Structure 1
Amino acid sequence: MAKPTKPTDQDSELDRIKTGAFERNVALTKMGVGAGAKIASHTVRNLFRRGESKDQANRDFYRQQARELADELGRLKGSVMKAGQMLSLYGQYFLPEEAVEVLASLQDNTPAVSWSFVEPQLIQALGHGVIQKLHIERKPIAAASLGQAHKATVKATGETVVVKIQYPGVADAIDTDIRTLSRLIAATRMAPKALDLTPVFHELRDMLVRECDYVQEKAFTDTFSQQLATDARFIVPKVYPEFCAQRVLTTRYEPGYSVSSPQVQALSQARRNKLAQAFVDLFVTEFFDWKLVQTDPHFGNYRIRIDPAGEHDQIVTLDFGATRPFEPQFVDSYAKIVRGSLLRDRAEIAEGVLEIGLMDANTPQSVLEGFGDLTELIVEPFRKPFSPGVPEHLYTPGGAYCFGPSDLPARVGQTAALKMMSKHFKIPPQEIIFLHRRIGGVLVTLRTLRAELRLHELLKPYLKLPD
């Protein structure tokens, strides 16, 4: 389940969510009308502002507009809330920074829905007879935009499982929700008028359809389980087909600690390094070998099973709804960008960029060079130890890159702002958006673990790097 949050108490639950197209449209249309009035008022007031005062007023306005949008999406839940979360990924390329920040926060505030609202969905999907084989706890252990999870016991065996139930009406509302959200973004004027966001919303719709398909998620879970069956570093929950359907997914309950928990943070440097290495190994294997990537890196989707003996800590991998296959050609072209960045070969970077479609043949050389500056910086942790240009304090005496004190995200952001503001740089295709979502999550995990790793050798067999 993407981006789950544990409800703090039963009082935080919603009785229901608005599932009908009409009532959801009414809620968002009212907000759009209100936004129009506020835009007019803001525009008038800005006539009397100058310089920094005007800039600050604009930032405050966009933040407030985005906050009101996020609040309403949070109340509606379902596909429109998930679309808002995903929009924050695309939005970094065309929305004000303040709006992206607020939309991204949607993942952190998700109240659960009452059992009386989700129970009919469960009965319709599995039938009374099958449900009678389970003892299901009415209070959910996690809630997200598309559904929530309930702990249960298989009566015949005593096994503890998690039943993930999609909210009623979510899948049916996707098309209406996407259309309404696109109109709302236009009404709030958070995106540039001249920018055609139709392709973005088409991609959001496709992703939502996939994440609402629990049959596909079950298949992806089974695939990852098979692929990782011989790797003791990972645990993939067992699937219980008898208790699965299009809108219901039941897997074994696999407890563990969050990467950011005090228990994990208290582990020795060596143990944290082993966990961090496993996170990187998994991503590299998914992308280059399997060409199948779980693109939602939220901490709730990865739990740490601490070994009391201190020998074999494990990573529990959860929620495969956001899994994406990647075409071999895309992987090969992306590899060119990474290889060119590590070797500081601008021609190879440009070749990969053009093949993927980030830019085209008419892109000025100066823009391609700016992109090269950016990608060469991004691959910093994968360079050979003590490479020129990498701050010396980010290496241990043995040449491991220190993720804890690294300010790489800030330096990447500054470089992107300086180099990539160009009409020639397109909104990236969805493959790039969701791949970078996972890469960003891996880097955040390594920083949270305060990892010290030598990663250059990891990429050599995939990129055919020289010694």
Structure 2
Amino acid sequence: MNHISTSTGRAVPSTRLHRLWHLGLATSDLASGVGMRGLIELARARGDEPSRIRLNPRATRRFTDRLARMRGAAMKVGQLMSMDGSDVFTPEAAEIMATLRDRAEPMPMSQLVRVLDAELGRDWNHRFKRFEFTPIAAASIGQVHRAETHDGQGVALKIQFPGVRDSIDSDLDNLAAISRTLGFVPRGMDIGPLLDEARRQLHQEADYSAEAASLEAFGRLIGDDPDFAVPRVHTELSTSRVLAMSFADGVPVDRLADPHYTRADRDRVATLLSRLALRELFEFGLMQTDPDFGNFLYDPASGRIALLDFGAVQRISPELVDHYRRIGRAGLADDIEGLRDGAVALAYIGHEDSPEQVAPLLELIRLSGEILRHDGPYDFGASTLFERVLLRGRDLYYENAFRRLPDPATLFLHRKFVGILMLCRRLRARVDLRGLMSEFLD
């Protein structure tokens, strides 16, 4: 056993009132960081150039510190905001927001020991030859520790923050109330079904027994693929709040944006992960829907990508796969009527919607499909597509064009699709998405 770290953490706020208080302070920090003038400028921005949010660095750090202390669903929402903040925030603010992806506060040592005592028994320390008390990662739901078994196997233990599972419902209720109060929800839209889907997914992510089953399922699906590796579950060391798996070496894939990695490395990794996402949709019918860049580790020595974090795994019905196949074929063919049929099937628009309501939404969908109409590798580094989609979507939002709730089953699937495209953009990669999509639609 290694020396116990002397670093201290703060306990996770647990009661709904306590978490609402922290969330309210975080929201105030964000609002003060933007400033009233910034909010007005963002709301009124029009034209060809997107207006990025300018955040006061001190207020932004207070905002991220607050969410890092809360952990749980509130921090996960902040992580989604930070995935490619350069489209929305100035570079300085985006850099601060990006720290949310891997800097949740660790548990105090006393709290960590109590969790391990409760989950693995009071003699849990005898199960390991070595256990590193300082976590190697801390995310929104748990923190990860490195250990070694007595037979010399390297193990990563994901240990859940106490109280996080019980705080999911209150966090979502609080976020929904604040969103409505600040006018973030389109007028007349009932977001209840989306919140229910988010609630279901987050509760699943907090069940490490379910994650272990998903990890094993993906291990079977990936098999001995030379490009990917899936950790093995150590069931004898796992519970519903502790997940033990074989240790994976590597760096988060977004690090490939650093200059010492080659353009060929970036293109290859972005292509492999894009193709994997399509396999999950069209072949597996099972998708890991959390595209956080830290969930994919690149090993420069072997060139393989280790796939981590299978808490957010969603089964996709054959009917939904057919809907995506339909809209994918229409996107490849630039078939406007086909796009409309696919959009109706996915509940983006309704049969009864007027042509005036449908036209701008179809225009936005067609704009997003630019990457599928491009022959050969699409150069994300030279593209302004994200800015154009952001600007047009914001205009439509303020014009109250989004009146319909899409199929809730697509909520986390879209998170994965957008996340993979954001990774392609972060790496400034060239990916033949038209060719990849054609492979699964032909």
In structure 2, what is the Cα distance between the partners aligned to 1:366 and 1:164? 51
Letter in 2 for 1:183: A
Alignment partner for residue 428 of structure 1, among 396, 406, 414?
A: 406
The aligned runs of 1:102-251 (5 Å cut-off) are 106-107=100-101, 109-134=103-128, 135-155=130-150, 157-188=151-182, 190-191=184-185, 195-251=189-245
In structure 1, what is the Cα distance between the partners aligned to 2:56 and 2:401? 23
Letter in 1 for 2:373: R
The Cα of 1:248 is off from its aligned counterpart by 0.6
Q: Which residue of 2 aligns with 1:412?
A: 389
Secondary structure of residue in 2 paired with 1:217: helix
Contact 2:135 2:144 in 1 (8 A): yes
For residues 45-93 of structure 1, give each alpha carbon's deviation from its aligned partner in whole angstroms, at most 9, with x where no partner exists. Answer: 99xxxx969969xx8899999987765443322344335556x59xx9x
Secondary structure of residue in 2 paired with 1:149: strand
Q: Which residue of 2 aligns with 1:277?
A: 271
In structure 2, what is the Cα distance between the partners aligned to 1:247 and 1:52? 45
TM-score, normalising length: structure 2: 0.81
In structure 1, what is the Cα distance between the partners aligned to 2:383 and 2:177? 40
The aligned runs of 1:343-422 (5 Å cut-off) are 343-383=333-373, 385=375, 399-418=376-395, 421-422=399-400
CA spacing shift, 1:287–1:152, aligned 2, 3 Å: same
Letter in 2 for 1:142: A
TM-score, normalising length: structure 1: 0.77
Letter in 2 for 1:141: I
In structure 2, what is the Cα distance between the partners aligned to 1:146 and 1:321? 10
CA spacing shift, 1:332–1:193, aligned 2, 3 Å: closer
Contact 2:67 2:78 in 1 (8 A): yes
The Cα of 1:290 is off from its aligned counterpart by 0.7
In structure 1, what is the Cα distance between the partners aligned to 2:70 and 2:304? 37
In structure 1, what is the Cα distance between the partners aligned to 2:211 and 2:425? 29
Structure 1 residues 190-199 or 145-154, which shifts more? Answer: 190-199
Structure 1 residues 226-235 or 76-85, which shifts more? Answer: 76-85
The Cα of 1:320 is off from its aligned counterpart by 0.8
CA spacing shift, 1:67–1:313, aligned 2, 3 Å: closer
In structure 1, what is the Cα distance between the partners aligned to 2:343 and 2:428? 32
Structure 1 residues 422-431 or 289-298, which shifts more? Answer: 422-431
Letter in 1 for 2:254: S
Q: Which residue of 2 aligns with 1:6?
A: none
Secondary structure of residue in 1 paired with 2:254: coil
In structure 2, what is the Cα distance between the partners aligned to 1:136 and 1:220? 26
Secondary structure of residue in 2 paired with 1:303: strand
The Cα of 1:373 is off from its aligned counterpart by 2.5
CA spacing shift, 1:140–1:319, aligned 2, 3 Å: same
In structure 2, what is the Cα distance between the partners aligned to 1:417 and 1:24? 30
In structure 1, what is the Cα distance between the partners aligned to 2:19 and 2:148? 36
Letter in 1 for 2:379: C
Contact 1:83 1:208 in 2 (8 A): no
Contact 2:214 2:310 in 1 (8 A): yes
Q: Say yes or no: does 1:77 pair with 2:53.
A: no
CA spacing shift, 1:462–1:369, aligned 2, 3 Å: farther
Identity level (%): 29
Q: Which residue of 2 aligns with 1:439?
A: 417
Q: Which residue of 1 aligns with 2:307?
A: 317
Contact 1:374 1:419 in 2 (8 A): no
Contact 1:367 1:424 in 2 (8 A): no
In structure 2, what is the Cα distance between the partners aligned to 1:383 and 1:30? 45
Letter in 2 for 1:407: T
Q: Which residue of 1 aligns with 2:318?
A: 328
Alignment partner for residue 248 of structure 2, among 250, 254, 261?
A: 254
For residues 290-329 of structure 1, give each alpha carbon's deviation from its aligned partner in whole angstroms, at most 9, with x where no partner exists. Answer: 111111111111111113xxxx511111111111111111
Contact 1:259 1:265 in 2 (8 A): no
CA spacing shift, 1:14–1:187, aligned 2, 3 Å: farther
CA spacing shift, 1:183–1:71, aligned 2, 3 Å: farther
Contact 2:285 2:321 in 1 (8 A): yes
